[in-house]
Amino acid sequence: MTIYRPISPAQKTNEMFVLSYKVLNDAIEYICKNYKIVGCSDALFGNLYTNEAITENTGINSMRIFPNGTITPSPYLPPSVFKSKHHIFDTAVMEYLRFDCFNEVKAPTECIGCSYEKTCQGGVYDRRLLWYGTLIERDPYCPFRHGYTLPKTKYIYEKNENISMYDGYLPTLLFKKQLSNDTSQNTYDHNRVNF
């Protein structure tokens, strides 16, 4: 599952497909309850709903290479604004491909004191940049922006190496259908979690 980003040049399309906080959270909760989480690289939703500490990957473990050699941090961030100063044909040294704009990003002020300040750290970079144009802002889907508290139920993240090429680099959520004879509980004992 990939959450829609407002990347269409047609504003109407974005308005039509950008999910509200409530619709998105209801959907994620429903899926977490009824399916097994097998991949979760979204720094916000991974920390909110799973028993794992998830950190951001955009521009760190991800990049997009265009046919002309232009490099951007992720498929969601347009080259007109987020193009790397390096070109894929200029360098064969991967370490130069790190995006300077993601060096030493600090959690936004509003995140200080949040239980996930050290892991979520303000949420997914591309959403913050696309919605607000700056990493000073926290994720548009942070519950505190919408008058909600942190979700109380956690779900077990069944880590599965190589589940998908999308796992561990883009903020993608991957789920697996539960077998009908699988009676294992997929909620996590949140008494063990420090809210």
Applying CB under 6 A, among 5, 127, 138, 154 the residue interacting with ligand SF4 is 138
Among 120, 124, 129, 130, binds ligand SF4 (CB under 6 A): 120
158 in contact with ligand SF4 (CB under 6 A): no
- Residue 45 Cβ, how far from ligand SF4 at the closest point, in Å? 10
- What string of DSSP letters covers 125-149? HHHHHHHHSSTTSPPTT-GGGGT--
126 lies in the binding site for ligand SF4 (CB under 6 A): no
44 binds ligand SF4 (CB under 6 A): yes
Tokens coding 38:
């097998």
DSSP letters of 2-57? Answer: ----S--S-HHHHHHHSPPHHHHHHHHHHHHHHEEEEEE--HHHHHHHBSS-----
Beta bridge partners of 154: 188
Query: Is-contact 89 69, C-beta < 8 A?
Result: yes
Neighbours of 34 (CB within 10 A): 11
Residue number with CB closer to ligand SF4 (44 or 71) = 44
Closer Cβ to ligand SF4, 116 or 175, answer by number: 116
Among 46, 59, 73, 122, indicate the residue that binds ligand SF4 (CB under 6 A): 122
Using CB under 6 A as the criterion, which residues of the chain lie in contact with ligand SF4 when the complex forms? 44, 107, 110-111, 114, 116-117, 120-123, 138-139, 142, 144
